[in-house]
Amino acid sequence: MRILAIETSCDETGISIIETEKTTPFEEVKVLANTLLSQASLHAEYGGIFPSLARREHSKNIIPLLVQALTSAGLAHPLPSPRILEEKEEDTLALILKKEMRLSAMFHSDILALETPPIDAIAVTKGPGLEPALWVGINTAQALGALWNVPIIPINHMEGHIVVALLTPFTPKTYRLTPLVYPSLALLISGGHTELVLARGMGDYEILGQTRDDAVGEAFDKVARMLGLPYPGGPEISKLAETAPVAKIPPYPLPRPMLKTDDFDFSFAGLKTAVLYTLKNIINPTQEDKASIAKEFEDSVTEILITKTLNAAVEYKVKEIILGGGVTANKKIREAFQKMVADKLPDVKLFIPARDLSTDNALMIGIAGLIRFNETANDIVAEGHLRLAERIDVNF
C-alpha cells in the first residue's frame, strides 16, 4: 500500500510518499520520499508567520515539490504526450481549483504530463493551522484524488505529531511503527499548541490541560525576538542558552507560572512578560546577560512541562508518554523528559520523535493516514481550529 501525504498547515510545504507492509506487531514503513520546503526565512522579516504569504508560497511550491517527491520515489513517469482530460474531468478540476489559478496551470503543465502513479490514498492535513495555507494542501489533494481516482484521508495535524513519535528507524529508509499501549499521555508542544492529551484508545482522546494564553513555541519565538534573535526562535534560544555561564543561582530568575496549580493547564504569557521586564531593567544587556536569560527561560519552560506531565501521568496511571510538536526538537526538554521518566516513572515508556521529525513534515501526516486508512472523505474543508477532542474539566 502506498500513501501520498501533504502538509501545508503553517510555513512548511511537505510532501511524503510511504509504502507499508504489515509485519505484526509492527508495521514496517518504507519512506519513498519525504520532501519539505520551509518558508521560515521569508516569514523571518515579519518576525512571525504571515498567512497570505504562507498561502502564496505553498501555491507556488507544492506542485514542484510533488514532482520532486514522485521522482525520488521512482514514480514520476512522463507520458509520451500530456493527458487530455474529458470535459467532465476538466470541469471537476476547474471547480476544485477555482481559487487556485497558479496551481491549476501547474496541474495542467506538470501533473498531466505524468502517468498516474500507483498511489492508494492521499492523506492531507485538514487542520488545525492557518486556513489559507491549509486550503492549498486540501485543494491539491482533492484535485489529485479526482485525476488519479484515489480516496482522500483528512488528517488532524496534532495527531500527526503524536504518531510520528512511534516510528523507530529500522533500516536507512524504513521505520517500524510501534502501536500505542493505552492509556497513554501525549504532551503536544508546538508554535500554536500546548496540550496534555490522554489517549484511551486510537483516536479516543481527552484534553486534560492546555495553555491559557501563549503556546510554548510561541513563547520561545516571542522571547527570541526580545533577545534580538531571528524567527523561528526556539532553536536560537537553545543555542544561546548553551553559552550561558554556569551559575548555581540564576542571575536573572524567572517565574514558573502555574507550576503548582491543581490542574493540567499552562500559562506562558506571564513568563514572556517577565523576560521583557528583566531585559528592561538591565542597562545595555551583554551577550552573557542574554544567554543567562535564555537559559533561565528554557529552564522555566522545561520545569513546568515536566511537572505537569508527571502529575498527569501519575494521576491517570499511563503506560506511555509521547512528546510531539516542534518544541520537542529542544535538546534540554528531550533530555529532561528522558531523565524524569527514568527516575520517576521507570515502568512508563517514553516516545520522542527523531529531531528532524519533531517540527512539521509530511511524513507524520502519512503515518496518521496509514492508521486512519479507512477514514476517507469527500469535500474536505479546512478547519483552522480543529481539535483532537473537547477538553474535559479535571481537578485532582
The residue ranges that bind Zn ion (CB under 5 A) are 190, 360
Nearer to ligand KG4, 268 or 316 (CB): 268
Shortest distance, position 180 Cβ to ligand KG4, whole Å: 20
Q: How far is the CB of 303 from ligand KG4 (least distance, A)?
A: 15
117 binding partner (options Zn ion, ligand KG4, none; Cβ < 5 to 8 Å by kind): none
Residue 150 cell numbers, joined? 484515489
Q: What is the DSSP string of 70-132?
A: HHHTT---B-SSPPPPPHHHHHHHHHHTTT-HHHHHHIIIIITTBPPP---EEEEEEESS-HH
**3 or 54: whose CB is closer to ligand KG4?**
54
Return the C-alpha cell found at 101. Answer: 489559478
DSSP 91: H
Minimum CB distance to Zn ion, residue 169 (Å) = 21
If contact means CB under 5 to 8 A according to the sort of partner, which of Zn ion, ligand KG4, none does residue 217 touch? ligand KG4
* CA separation for the pair 177, 167 (Å, rounded): 5
Distance CA 230, CA 235 (A): 10
Q: What 3-state class would DSSP assign to 126?
A: strand
Is 8 or 190 the residue whose CB approaches Zn ion more closely?
190
Rounded-to-integer distance, Cα 184 and Cα 197, Å: 8
Minimum distance from residue 281 beta carbon to ligand KG4 (Å): 25
CA 266 to chain centre: 19
Helix (H) or strand (E) run with residue 350 in it = strand 349-351
Q: How far is the CB of 329 from ligand KG4 (least distance, A)?
A: 4
Of 151, 127, 178, the residue nearest 373 (C-alpha):
151
Contact of residue 268 among ligand KG4, Zn ion, none (CB under 5-8 Å per partner type): none
* 160 interacts with, out of ligand KG4, Zn ion, none, CB within 5 to 8 A per kind: none
H/E stretch holding 219 reads helix 216-226
- Please check whether residue 157 is in contact with residue 365, taking contact to mean a CB–CB distance below 8 angstroms: yes
220 binds, among Zn ion, ligand KG4, none (CB under 5 to 8 A by kind): ligand KG4
* SS3 letters across 228-271: CCCCCHHHHHHHHHHCCCCCCCCCCCCCCCCCCCCCCCECCHHH
Binding-site partner at residue 238 among ligand KG4, Zn ion, none, CB < 5 to 8 Å by type: ligand KG4
For Zn ion, the closer of residues 190 and 278 by Cβ is: 190
Name which of 61 and 359 has its Cβ closer to ligand KG4. 359
Least spacing, CB of residue 9 vs ligand KG4, in Å: 6
Find which of Zn ion, ligand KG4, none residue 311 binds, CB within 5 to 8 Å per kind: none
Nearer to ligand KG4, 137 or 233 (CB): 233
Nearer to Zn ion, 133 or 321 (CB): 133
Q: Which residues neighbour 236 within 8 Å (Cβ) at sequence distance 6 or greater?
A: 224, 229, 230
Shortest separation between residue 193's beta carbon and ligand KG4, angstroms: 7
Give me the residue label for grid cell 513519535.
165
User: Which residues of this chain interact with ligand KG4, rule CB under 6 A?
Assistant: 10, 190-192, 217, 220-221, 232-235, 238, 325-327, 329-330, 359-360
Shortest Cβ 238–ligand KG4 spacing (Å): 5
| Cβ–Cβ < 8 Å for 329, 359 | yes
State the binding partner of 34 from Zn ion, ligand KG4, none, CB within 5 to 8 A by kind. Answer: none
The residue among 44 and 377 lying less far from ligand KG4, judged by its C-beta, is 44
Cell triple for 390: 473537547
Distance (Å, rounded) from C-alpha 238 to C-alpha 215?
17
Strands 121-127 and 2-7: parallel
